[in-house]
Structure formats: C-alpha cells, structure tokens
Amino acid sequence: MLSERQEEIIEKSICLIAEKGIQGFTIKNLSKAIGISEPAIYRHFKSKTEILLTILDNFKQMANMLSDMMMKNNMPAIEKIAFMFNRMVDMFTETPAIVSVIFSEEIFKNETVLKDKIVEILNKNEETIEQILKTGQKNKEIRTDISEETLALMVMGSLRLLVKRWDLNNYKSNLKSDGKNIILGLQKILNNN
C-alpha cells in the first residue's frame, strides 16, 4: 500500500513524463513539480527506476484483475474482448499521461528490470486474450481458420496503434468513439461466420 506522498510522487511522475518525455523525468524536475526536496523523494523511493516499477506494478495489477474477471465471466468471447478493449480505452482516456509510460519504448531499452516488467504485462494481456479466443473457438463463436495467437496480436496491435496515434495527436480525436469503431471491425474479423 502506497502512502499519500508516494501516490503524489507517482501521479506527478506520470504527468512529468507525459509533459517532458522520459528525458525530462529527473528527480530534480520531479522535486520541483511536487515542491519538495530531492532527498525527500528518496525517502519514499530509492530511485527513478523504482518509481517507474511502481507505475508498471499498478498497471500489472489492473491486468491481473481484468484477466481474473474475464476468466470467471460467462459472457461470449467477443463480448469479453470488447469489454477488455473498452476498459483499456477508458483507462487511457481517464489518465492520458499513462500512455507515455506504457508505450514509451525508450524507458525500457536500457533498464532490464523495466523491460522485464512490461514484458510480463504484455504476456499477461496476450495470454488472457488468447484464452478468451481459444474458448470462443471451442464454443464456435470465434473463427477457427486463424490461430488464437494471431487473432490476439490483431486485437492487441489495434489497441496499441489506436492509443499511440491518439497520444501523438495530442488527444484531439475521441478515443472512446474510435475504440468502438475498432471493436466493431474486430468483431467482424473474429466472428465465426
């Protein structure tokens, strides 16, 4: 459980990364943004990497909760995929700055521990989607002429491109509306007709 100050540090870190990029995410800039000294930040987190790991851990917890929810739910596979897709779109819409952390490859290139964490999150999401699709194929809801692995990549790639484009265009489009259109297209692709 994070303290109030740690929560504030995490929140400001996400905003700082969104505003200045990973290069501008320094403890010095963070301390200025919060209005506390650099040593005060180090009393709450050992390093910048620990702050980023905490952000990613929060995202991983959400991925695990969503996976558990989907595995226990009996709705059709296409509805599960739509629900997951929409939950991710909602999260990015509510906290646009998180896109800069989750989809910021330069953060992970030189930090193995961060790269490993993002790979865990991606693998969990991919595993969840593949399991939903595999079950849907067994139930004759999802097409079987394309593997669940390939279909999962199509779903995940669609989300990533949609969100990254929205981010690069300074959130000018309506992500929720665009997400609904992507889901409608994916449903046509996934449907076993």
Q: Which residues in the chain are classed under CATH 1.10.357.10?
A: 58-190
Q: Is 157 exposed, middle or buried (0-12, 13-18, 19+ CB in 10 A)?
A: exposed
Residue 106: the pLDDT is 67
The pLDDT > 90 percentage for the chain reads: 72
Total length of the chain? 193
Query: 13 and 51 in contact (C-beta within 8 Å)?
Result: yes
Is 193 a residue whose pLDDT tops 80? no
Q: Is 122 exposed, middle or buried (0-12, 13-18, 19+ CB in 10 A)?
A: middle
Banded pLDDT at 114 (limits 50, 70, 90) = confident
* DSSP 8-state symbol, 142: B
* 1-45: CATH number: 1.10.10.60
| 27-46 residue pLDDT tens | 999 999 999 999 999 999 99
* 58-190: CATH number: 1.10.357.10
Q: What pTM value is reported for the model?
A: 0.88
| 118-170 residue pLDDT tens | 889 889 999 999 999 999 999 999 999 999 999 999 999 999 999 999 998 98
Q: What is the token pair recorded at 73?
A: 């739910």
Q: What is the token pair recorded at 19?
A: 């505003």
Q: Which residues in the chain are classed under CATH 1.10.10.60?
A: 1-45
